[in-house]
Amino acid sequence: MRFLLGVLVGYSLRGKQKLLIRFLVTLALVVYVVIPALALLGLSIDVQRERRSRPAQTKVPVLKGLTYEDAERKLHAANLNIRLLATRHDPAVQPRLIIDQVPAPGEEVALGYPVGVTVSRRDFAGPGP
């Protein structure tokens, strides 16, 4: 770049070699302006194509404390699916309520993604003899 600039300044001060000056100015514009602009345009198009190819995303709603049926409706409204991962006895929680979920509330997932839930159950088995 310095060499090219030096040649341009030198020849323009002397007023000689006008054709060479035009050629060098054109070459400098192509190398330092046009080619980088085309590269950035191509990169921009690639980024836009990549963004369009990603599946639509949505946030996972809070399900803890809801019944399985209410959670199912809430997930359906958010275009997500529900999946029962486990049932667990928890004496501090009423039976049939969701006590855990995966992924966590607020995480972004693709539409149609299954949200796993753990539901509380009542243990009817009493202490053994």
Q: Report pLDDT for 4.
A: 67
Q: Report pLDDT for 18.
A: 74
Q: Report pLDDT for 23.
A: 81
Segments in the chain below pLDDT 70: 1, 4-5, 8, 11, 16, 123-129
Fold observed for domain 57-121: Trypsin Inhibitor V; Chain A (3.30.10)
Cα distance between residue 53 and residue 56, in whole Å: 9
DSSP string for residues in 16-35? --HHHHHHHHHHHHIIIIIH
Q: List every span in the chain annotated with CATH 3.30.10.20.
A: 57-121
